[in-house]
Amino acid sequence: MKKKGWVKSKVKSFICGYCKECNKQLLSDEGGWIITAKRQYFCHDGKEGSCFDNYCELKLKQQKKQNEKRLSKNEIWKNF
């Protein structure tokens, strides 16, 4: 006679989102992805390195440009 036991359910994987940089599908059973506070998804192993690192570097460059513009405007107003 066969012993009765628990039948294991199949492992299900769900699509959690897509990487904002490389548009890679991010699955629930695979690791290696990050969600920001703004609910933006990024993967660790994109085509050109970490997509999240690339995004952070881009944002830093944009912030530096904005700060330089603000400083130059402040210099103009100080001269008046």
pLDDT digits (tens, 9 = 90+) for 1-39: 667 777 777 778 888 899 998 888 888 888 888 898 999
Evaluate whether residue 4 is within a structural domain: no
Evaluate whether residue 9 is within a structural domain: no
Q: What is the pLDDT of residue 74?
A: 63
Q: Nearest Cα to 35, choosing from 52, 23, 59, 60?
A: 52
Evaluate whether residue 8 is within a structural domain: no
Domain hosting residue 74, numbered range: 15-78
Evaluate whether residue 3 is within a structural domain: no
Q: What is the pLDDT of residue 61?
A: 93
Evaluate whether residue 7 is within a structural domain: no
Residues 19 and 33 sit within 8 Å (Cβ to Cβ) = yes
Q: Model's pTM, two decimal places?
A: 0.62
Tally of domains in the chain = 1
Residues 9 and 32 sit within 8 Å (Cβ to Cβ) = no
How many angstroms separate the CA atoms of 42 and 22, rounded?
Answer: 8
